[in-house]
Amino acid sequence: MDTESAYSGYSYYSGRSRGSHRHGERSRDRHKSRSKESSRSEKSVTINAPPAEPLLGDQSVRGEEVQDDNWGETTTAVTGTSEHSLSQEDIVRISKDLDDSVGLDCKRYLNVALSVILGLVVFLTPLAFLILPHLLWPDRLRACGTACEGLFISVAFKLLILLLAVWALFFRPPRAGLPRIFVFRALLATLVLLFVLSYWLFYGVRILDSQDEDYQGIVQYAVSLVDALLFIHYLAIVLLELRQLQPFFSLCVTRSTDGATQHYNLGQLSIQRAAVVILENYYKDFPVHNPALLTASKSRAAKHLAGLKVYNVDGPGENNAAAGIAQSQSRAMIAAAARRRDSSHNELYYEEAEHERRVRKRRARLVVAVEEAFTHIRRMQEEEQKKAPGDVMDPREAAQAIFPSMARALQKYLRTTRQQHLHSMESIQQHLAFSITNNMTPKAFLESYLTTGPTLQYGKDRWLARQWTLISEASVTSGLKDGTVFLLKCIDFSLVVTTKKIPYIQLAEEFIDPKSHKFMLRLQSETSV
């Protein structure tokens, strides 16, 4: 029994040695052969290895701490042991999002096409009212006097004003693709269509059928149509732009992963339009989402669980003692977990203190390296001023020349703060060339790396959130109400939005008599000396 226990223990440690990179091929083969022999001779000893997830967590933590100094490894890679690897379901979901984006593009172009068609019908209708009598019964029309000709000028300028107003209000680049129709815009389009159809119906019955000879009345009829269209455009401005200006609700937006929170005051908007406003503000107000910062707690829990090992010394064949074995294993794990729970806060405290110390140390090294590099740039600029104009180095070449002197310190700092996936070597060199071109200080250059900026500061490939899904119990076309809760979900996280109504504020006035502030100072002539 002791021999078997020794062999089984040796097989366990040989298995760990096989996973190490510090031994040669000969040592690996020797351990493999001995582990095979031990597995053949093992009869009654069963070792329950730690779960796979904690082991992967430990490996991922060690892999983040021990890395090479090559920029090629700082980029995000899809691997089998990464905590952020893509599964088959993620790939299918991404492909589905791409298909949905194609459908949204078709929907957007269809909406633009319908809007253009409706706009052409609206603008060509008054012109058709004026041209058709000249084409169908020109001989029977009465002569157009001075007042009639003045109406031509009125129609022309009103149509020009209407054209510019419609272009400014409706033909702006779309900010987002909404899941449902915009209710007010659809209502206005329906109103305009019914209005134009009713004018055409009246024009066909009263003017075309009877071939009216009063051309001045026909021109006035066209002017009335243009005036009505201008009033409808004013109604569109009120419903689409002015109605939402006064704030009525306070929306609290919380990111589900790290708890970042912002508050926004919005007016009377539908849920889908409020979601668009929140996403527009999200990219400029929220710090960029960094999944690497969220793995510390997971790796810490995995490290604690990885230390729990349960040994079954009775073998799998002892069915009578299975219940006792399970109870003893559970008691051992509970006791070990309780002991680790008592000391976990100390470990957390010292881990955070050590991490902060490393960050401060590498930040100081980075600041010194960048200041030395910029000092070298100033010396180079002073030397280049003495050279011929053709020998002057451009900012791009200067950035490439001084970048190696600060690359190592910057790389270590970004890895310590887990920002290496947010900055590529090309983007850093471009930012360095931009800083040199605009004569920026080292502090201004480092500000983009020392502090986490908003999402728009980084490239689109670093956003990790393009396709959003709106989840709401209420209809997304309904307006905001007190207590409304909805989610904006993307691949990596979600934004939880809660709505609170801004309370009604009652102000009271209190009048203070100006005479109540007056006082009199009396001086006595007889004073003690």
The answer on pLDDT for 271 being more than 90 is: yes
Non-local (6+) Cβ contacts of 414 within 8 A are 74, 420, 422, 423, 449
Average pLDDT over residues 259-269: 93
pLDDT at res. 399 = 86
pLDDT tens column, 104-116: 567 777 878 888 8
Alpha carbon distance, N-terminus to C-terminus of the chain: 115
Query: Is 496:254 a contact under the CB 8 Å cutoff?
Result: yes
290 against 332, higher pLDDT: 290
Neighbour-count burial of 203, counting CB atoms closer than 10 A to its CB (0-12 exposed, 13-18 middle, 19+ buried): buried
Average pLDDT over residues 505-521: 81
CA distance 260 to 219: 62
DSSP string, 351-374: HHHHHHHHHHHHHHHHHHHHHHHH
| Mean pLDDT of all residues belonging to the chain | 75
332 against 93, higher pLDDT: 332
pLDDT at res. 527 = 57
pLDDT tens column, 149-208: 888 899 999 999 999 999 999 888 877 888 888 899 999 999 999 999 999 999 998 888
293 against 371, higher pLDDT: 371
CA distance 127 to 339: 88
User: Which percentage of the chain shows pLDDT scores above 90?
Assistant: 30
pLDDT tens column, 372-406: 988 888 887 777 777 666 566 778 888 888 888 89
pLDDT tens column, 17-36: 444 444 444 444 544 444 44
pLDDT tens column, 291-347: 887 765 555 555 555 555 555 545 554 444 555 555 566 666 666 666 665 666 787
Report the side by side order of strands in the sheet with 469-472: 261-266, 249-255, 494-501, 485-489, 469-472
pLDDT tens column, 499-510: 999 999 999 988
pLDDT at res. 97 = 52
Average pLDDT over residues 503-525: 80
- Helix, coil or strand: residue 392: coil
Closest alpha carbon to 449 in 429, 435, 433, 428: 428
pLDDT tens column, 444-471: 999 989 888 888 888 766 655 567 899 9
* pTM exceeds 0.75 for this model: no
CA distance 462 to 445: 20
The answer on pLDDT for 141 being more than 60 is: yes
pLDDT at res. 10 = 36
- Helix, coil or strand: residue 315: coil
CA distance 510 to 513: 10
Query: Which H or E element spans position 471?
Result: strand 469-472
Average pLDDT over residues 417-442: 88
The answer on pLDDT for 54 being more than 70 is: no
The answer on pLDDT for 55 being more than 50 is: no
Q: How many CA atoms lie within 13 A of 365 on its CB side?
A: 17
Among 76-90, 133-147, 314-328, 502-516, the range with the most confident prediction by mean pLDDT is 502-516
pLDDT at res. 172 = 84
pLDDT at res. 80 = 37
Q: CA–CA distance from 314 to each of 9, 13, 43, 342, 449 (Å)? A: 16, 21, 10, 32, 57
Closest alpha carbon to 365 in 401, 426, 430, 414: 414
The answer on pLDDT for 218 being more than 50 is: yes
pLDDT at res. 157 = 93
Average pLDDT over residues 264-273: 93
Among 259-263, 332-336, 514-518, the range with the most confident prediction by mean pLDDT is 259-263
Phi, psi values for residue 211, rounded to 5°: 50, 65
The label of the residue with tokens 């976990």 reads 344
Q: How confident is the model at residue 15 (pLDDT cuts 50, 70, 90)?
A: very low
Find the range with the poorest average confidence among 79-83, 262-266, 319-323, 350-354. Answer: 79-83
The answer on pLDDT for 84 being more than 70 is: no
The label of the residue with tokens 């076309």 reads 477
pLDDT at res. 418 = 87
pLDDT at res. 388 = 62
The answer on pLDDT for 253 being more than 70 is: yes
Query: Is 425:400 a contact under the CB 8 Å cutoff?
Result: no
84 against 414, higher pLDDT: 414
CA distance 213 to 465: 65
Query: Is 352:297 a contact under the CB 8 Å cutoff?
Result: no
Q: How many CB atoms sit inside 10 A of residue 441's CB? A: 12
| Lookup: tokens for 52 | 């796979």
pLDDT at res. 56 = 31
